[in-house]
Structure 1
């Protein structure tokens, strides 16, 4: 990486290549001791078979273009940070199960096909607020995800190791392989009534509505012909795409391949990479890298993001105004979204720029519990979702998807919801590597509440359109 970044004029004129990011300030990158070892790993990565195909990437882009126009809805969900140890049959099955069942519930509530993208098969790197972690007077490099170092607090584990890039690619390949095998085998078996544990529903004040909704979904799944006639969710129902934050650029560069037949460069390790809030600087390395690949790109924007910077990001990342190319993922927080989101929607709407708006109600609602655990409150997440649908309806801009950190496991990391998790319960099954995730029961409940929020916003918009 050079010590100074190019001027904005240079940025526009510079010929793009996968290594262009090295000319720009690159945040959140680990410092490796062995430059030769890192180079050897990059060379090896560049020779490995791709994990996804350019055809799949183009198909996803077309589906996201539909979501952009309100014809589909995106469910973008999965682990905060994957761990190599989680690459097991049970974990992958549970992950696919919760995504599949949430997709069915969303399709039932929204009355439209659901595009499912999992935060998996590559979500091994995590940004950190500090390069260092201190415990009991000891100071070590922060844990940056299994692709960089280990979570154990000792010198050996915390040293960034280049070989972990190859380990990450191997685990991502195994995850994608089994995910594809499950799809080929038919994911409909996840819709079997035996695969819908419902004990938690009875603890909810909305138990009657929840049970009726799930019963209707199961009935449609058991009678596919009738289900297809009633709801269009069966379209591409078994397709699940992959996604991860394109954070570690030493990994993303060698897995980016040129495709002469389709034209252009594709990140061959994932269908949709995204840029996080900490690395979305217009003149930074992550934006420079992402500007040249043909994959659909996601970008996180927060409560402090200005309309001017959003417009500049759109111009930089989607200069051709290609439909389905750019997804803006808003992460405001339930207490800030009412003031922060409308100006962004208004600024983009006026320009006519083509983007897909997706809500991340997780990251703006992170807090520390009274028991010392990093957590999120189900009620705050739900509140931000309800507000987002209302704001989008009022501005006449479709909310095209939801971005969630969740797991198919029965963890206790977020408080609230029908499952009744309290702060005192967090220590019982707190397993996340970094951020708290919704568990299986909370995820299904939220899927049903998203449908209700969407319908309520539509009703409000319809009433507002009726002449006095």
Structure 2
């Protein structure tokens, strides 16, 4: 076991949820290929998250983590990514206003493809096949061939993650996360959903706060913190 953290120290810990890759050579080639690619997350982004989590630990911020249990290769569209981000932003606005502290938003996105399993195999009728471990490993189709772990899926997951992150960065820096826009979504939710009526008072209070800030000369156009996520 490693006593101090290094970029590779995770490799010294036991991995209890690894699939049984049938072709070690193919796995090694996929891992080597991914290792040659640019990082998905940059050092500055990691440091920013570390600082934000420090604020959460100190009680000065609230952590919101949301997203899929496991991402899918079959549902990879710009619309799906946008709508997941939209819901996270809507929740964050309500939490930030209600708690009075910043909400640190963490998405289970752009890499959340694996599924842990309690057993290596499962029975479908009389057929025993490898368990579905997420699209990064095998296919959910209940056949023996589809369930064989395929290391090419690791590379596909990298490319999908990179595309997802690029789109998310464009959204959060390009005005999609603008506070006025997110508040309008919440108002729509309150007006069109029976569940949303519980948040009607919060939406009204946020509207009043936005009007006050605008009257003071603070708006989403001249304040980056209100325009970006």
Please confirm whether the aligned pair reaches a TM-score higher than 0.5, indicating the same fold: yes
Aligned mate of 1:48, from 18, 37, 41: 37
Alpha carbons of 1:201 and 1:78: their partners in 2 closer, same or farther (altered >3 Å)? same
Partner of 2:74, secondary structure, is helix
- 1:238 aligned partner: 228
Q: How many residues align?
A: 221
C-alpha separation in 2, matches of 1:71 and 1:213: 21
1:112 aligns with 2:101: yes
C-alpha separation in 1, matches of 2:57 and 2:140: 39
Aligned mate of 2:15, from 26, 47, 70: 26
Give runs of aligned pairs for residues 31-430 of structure 1, distance below 5 A.
31-186=20-175, 187-188=177-178, 189-193=181-185, 196-198=188-190, 201-202=193-194, 207=197, 210-220=199-209, 225=214, 235=225, 238-239=228-229
Deviation for aligned residue 1:76: 1.1
C-alpha separation in 2, matches of 1:227 and 1:56: 32
C-alpha separation in 2, matches of 1:83 and 1:52: 20
C-alpha separation in 2, matches of 1:160 and 1:25: 20
Q: Would you say the 8 A contact 2:138–2:149 is kept in 1?
A: yes
Q: Would you say the 8 A contact 1:140–1:155 is kept in 2?
A: yes
Give runs of aligned pairs for residues 446-457 of structure 1, distance below 5 A.
none
Q: Would you say the 8 A contact 2:90–2:185 is kept in 1?
A: no
The unaligned stretches of length 5 or more in structure 2 are: 219-223
Partner of 2:63, secondary structure, is strand
Deviation for aligned residue 1:219: 4.8
Partner of 1:177, secondary structure, is helix
Deviation for aligned residue 1:148: 0.4
- 1:403 aligned partner: none
Alpha carbons of 1:221 and 1:88: their partners in 2 closer, same or farther (altered >3 Å)? farther
Alpha carbons of 1:153 and 1:70: their partners in 2 closer, same or farther (altered >3 Å)? same
Q: Would you say the 8 A contact 2:183–2:203 is kept in 1?
A: no
Alpha carbons of 1:176 and 1:159: their partners in 2 closer, same or farther (altered >3 Å)? same
- Structure having the higher strand fraction is 1
TM-score normalised per structure 1: 0.43
C-alpha separation in 2, matches of 1:128 and 1:141: 10
Alpha carbons of 1:236 and 1:172: their partners in 2 closer, same or farther (altered >3 Å)? farther
C-alpha separation in 2, matches of 1:17 and 1:73: 27
- Structure having the higher helix fraction is 2
Partner of 1:144, secondary structure, is coil
Deviation for aligned residue 1:217: 2.6
Alpha carbons of 1:112 and 1:235: their partners in 2 closer, same or farther (altered >3 Å)? farther
Alpha carbons of 1:63 and 1:35: their partners in 2 closer, same or farther (altered >3 Å)? same
Q: Would you say the 8 A contact 2:63–2:105 is kept in 1?
A: yes
The unaligned stretches of length 5 or more in structure 1 are: 1-10, 240-468
Partner of 1:43, secondary structure, is helix
Misfit runs of 4+, over 4 Å: 12-17, 218-229, 234-237
Alignment root-mean-square deviation, CA:
2.8
* CA distances 1:223-255 after superposition (whole Å, capped 9, x unpaired): 7546998xxxx847733xxxxxxxxxxxxxxxx
Q: Would you say the 8 A contact 2:138–2:150 is kept in 1?
A: yes
Q: Would you say the 8 A contact 1:140–1:154 is kept in 2?
A: yes
Alpha carbons of 1:181 and 1:15: their partners in 2 closer, same or farther (altered >3 Å)? closer
TM-score normalised per structure 2: 0.85
Alpha carbons of 1:90 and 1:228: their partners in 2 closer, same or farther (altered >3 Å)? farther
Deviation for aligned residue 1:212: 1.6
Alpha carbons of 1:203 and 1:100: their partners in 2 closer, same or farther (altered >3 Å)? closer
